[in-house]
Amino acid sequence: MSELRKDPVTGRWVIISTERRKRPTDFRLESVRLAPDSACPFCEGHEEMTPRELLAHGRNGTAPDTPGWTLRVIPNQFPVLRVEGTLDRQAEGLFDKMNGIGAHEVIIESPKHEETLATLEAEAVEQVLWAAAARVQDLKRDHRFRYIIIFKNHGAAAGASLEHSHSQLIALPIVPREVRDEVDGARGHYETKERCVFCDILRQEMADTRRLIAENADMVAVAPYAPRFPFETWILPRRHQALFEEAPRHEYAALARLLGDILRRMNKALRMPPFNLLIHSAPVGEATGEYYHWHVEIIPKLTKVAGFEWATGFYLNPVAPEEAAQVLRDVRP
Amino acid sequence: MSELRKDPVTGRWVIISTERRKRPTDFRLESVRLAPDSACPFCEGHEEMTPRELLAHGRNGTAPDTPGWTLRVIPNQFPVLRVEGTLDRQAEGLFDKMNGIGAHEVIIESPKHEETLATLEAEAVEQVLWAAAARVQDLKRDHRFRYIIIFKNHGAAAGASLEHSHSQLIALPIVPREVRDEVDGARGHYETKERCVFCDILRQEMADTRRLIAENADMVAVAPYAPRFPFETWILPRRHQALFEEAPRHEYAALARLLGDILRRMNKALRMPPFNLLIHSAPVGEATGEYYHWHVEIIPKLTKVAGFEWATGFYLNPVAPEEAAQVLRDVRP
């Protein structure tokens, strides 16, 4: 029989329905294979094809927007939101709107086209996290921004328009709904129990172990109890902390190692799946320090979202997280 | 400049960002083309391949589960939720779960494999609505069910696993999140204004006309002000009514005509797009009559949902609803 499960943070229910499929890894998916592309604007040597860099790592005296870097951050050439202008909140009869003020940046994670977060050295992945944190710290100085989301689309099926490994940052003038639901849920838990719900989850998952995938000194990877998607994986810092951008450097190093490990496990078990990755951190300027707990979510793109999900917001997941965790635990690197 | 818009019912913000694309109808999509399939379990003559029918229309004395029908309703052969058993709500440490109790039915909309809601006669589409309403009325007698969702996946890219035209009903033991957000938003509006928010929207859209697509005596099709997806279209009854299943017969007839018209317009303007369709009606047994207003939502599958949307619940829509409405209005049938 299928099971309805409730996410303890947001209160969102999912249906875990494993009866329709054979093995937990049977998906018709588009494996992501990177092919060299001489027209790629993110490759080293093509710096003139992008907007001017905001930040670069690895330059030993080379000039901005020239070769000789290990990581670059640039404004998105086609930003969905722009820094210039004013919000101009206004009504349109019954409706509400404002100008698309925000920021949209791209972190080019490697000068080489064929690298991914799964193949890069841990030090290079750590550089990506470090650059993301630095950009968040800088963007937070603009008081119009209420939230800065860091995310990644890997593979065309996961929405990537360029295949060269990159992450994106979008600064928003509004705290978005998914984050609001997490923050409100975590506050509700804290008000009742005076404990962080994520710390409670970590403690239970460490004791239970069925949904535990991998861990190191600072970070734990689990399959969440009520995942929306098959093989959805969360990585949480053991230490309570609301803000990703204020984590100590050794936590970025630990996250980089565990993230690479998890992505290599997924590549092996799920045949190089497309995926989305996101970092949930607390909203800018809200006193969430006691109850919010930053974390990473990885969502392999294995199934199609259909009418039922759009109609209800209720997700149908054909793989139990206990099965997914076991598959990923059992991968031999 | 892009624009942030707020849905007046749910309060959900979207980003309308039209700068990245050329024409509003430029999408790389999978056109849905139906091919005859001798193994299709939904075709007339294959009744033995499906579970036994719950309801059929058009039988002139033919026996159940034999040919001679115009529409059949059957239990889903691989239901995501089952009627048998008890909910058994229970805790698992911090977590909450219950058994997958519910119902999952399929409405086979035509005996012929190549028909769709766009090619069927209006009377046949009306039969589909009528059958859906009858099944909802029947399922509501089971007091474990809090919500019954009617939806359709058309085309593999929209999640359809069988291409023969069909809709689905799922009865849920929980009011799902999207519906809860709509109902709560509508109640909030009613508490402040003592008016139905959907009636207010209809009035404003009729006066404004920029987002109006088509209408008839009982029904109005509009592009919503803050659509999550390009060419998202809502059809609302002019008359205030919370429950789809209690609509008078002439409203089903009017909806059938307008629905066919809208789908034919989409087929022409968007080259036979895959789509999802859903009916939002009030939750079972809640006194929402004064403020909720049933309606249909049609979502062509034109873009990919990516990391930003999963991370934030904030949708990025490359087509303004005013543009989408104009394209659909201008289609010559």
A95, A204, A308 ranked by CB distance to B8: nearest: A95
Say if A74 falls within a structural domain.
Answer: no
Please, where are the H alpha helices in A76-195?
122-139, 177-193
What is the overall mean pLDDT for chain A?
96
Q: Which domain CATH number covers B270?
A: 3.30.428.10
Say if A281 falls within a structural domain.
Answer: yes
pLDDT for residue B281: 98
Give the Å distances, CA to CA, from B10 to A3, B83, B118, B146, B184: 28, 31, 30, 20, 8
User: Pick from A53, A82, A78, A83: which is nearest to A68 by CA?
Assistant: A53
Give the total number of structural domains in chain B. Answer: 1
Say if B37 falls within a structural domain.
Answer: yes
Say if B89 falls within a structural domain.
Answer: no
Q: Which residue of B has its CA nearest to A280?
A: B311
pLDDT for residue A28: 78
Q: A126: pLDDT confidence band, cut at 50, 70 and 90?
A: very high
pLDDT at A84 over 90: yes
Considering chain B, what percentage of its residues have pLDDT values greater than 70?
100
Interface contact B176, partner A, CB < 8 A: yes
| Average confidence (pLDDT) over A218-234 | 98
Q: B211: pLDDT confidence band, cut at 50, 70 and 90?
A: very high
Q: B333: pLDDT confidence band, cut at 50, 70 and 90?
A: low
A-to-B residue pairs, Cβ atoms closer than 8 angstroms: 222
| Average confidence (pLDDT) over A309-319 | 95
Contact B55, B129 (CB under 8 A): no
Question: Residue A119 contacts by C-beta under 8 Å, 6 or more apart in sequence?
Answer: none
Chain A residues touching B296 at Cβ < 8 A: none
Q: What is the DSSP letter of B53?
A: P
Give the span between the Cα atoms of B81 and B258, in whole angstroms: 32
A1, A82, A310 ranked by CB distance to B85: nearest: A1
Say if B76 falls within a structural domain.
Answer: yes
pLDDT for residue A130: 97
Q: A1: pLDDT confidence band, cut at 50, 70 and 90?
A: confident
- Whether residue A5 and residue B278 make contact (CB cut-off 8 A), yes or no, is no
- Give per-residue pLDDT as tens, A17-46: 987 777 888 887 789 999 999 999 999 999
- Whether residue A5 and residue B95 make contact (CB cut-off 8 A), yes or no, is yes
- Whether residue B176 and residue A97 make contact (CB cut-off 8 A), yes or no, is no
pLDDT for residue A333: 67
What domain range includes position A8?
Answer: 3-33+124-330
Q: Which residue of A has its CA nearest to B8?
A: A95
A153, A278, A310 ranked by CB distance to B299: nearest: A310
Say if A108 falls within a structural domain.
Answer: no
pLDDT at A213 over 70: yes
Interface contact A18, partner B, CB < 8 A: no
Question: Residue A99 contacts by C-beta under 8 Å, 6 or more apart in sequence?
Answer: A85, A86, A87, A88, B1, B2, B3, B4
Chain B residues touching A178 at Cβ < 8 A: 310-314
pLDDT at B316 over 70: yes
pLDDT at B184 over 90: yes
Question: B248 to chain A nearest CA, in Å?
Answer: 23
- Whether residue A308 and residue B208 make contact (CB cut-off 8 A), yes or no, is no
Say if B88 falls within a structural domain.
Answer: no
Give the span between the Cα atoms of B193 and B262, in whole angstroms: 32
Q: B30: pLDDT confidence band, cut at 50, 70 and 90?
A: confident
Give me the amino acid identity at A269: A
Say if B206 falls within a structural domain.
Answer: yes
Question: A62 to chain B nearest CA, in Å?
Answer: 32
Give the span between the Cα atoms of B16 and B223, in whole angstroms: 13
Give me the amino acid identity at B203: R
Q: Is A104 a catalytic residue?
A: no
pLDDT at B20 over 80: no
pLDDT at A81 over 80: yes
User: Pick from A166, A169, A172, A198: which is nearest to A185 by CA?
Assistant: A198
Chain B residues touching A273 at Cβ < 8 A: none
Chain A residues touching B314 at Cβ < 8 A: 172, 174, 176-178
- Whether residue B172 and residue A312 make contact (CB cut-off 8 A), yes or no, is yes
Please, where are the H alpha helices in chain A?
122-139, 177-193, 197-208, 249-270, 307-312, 321-330
Q: Give this complex's ipTM.
A: 0.93
pLDDT at B168 over 70: yes
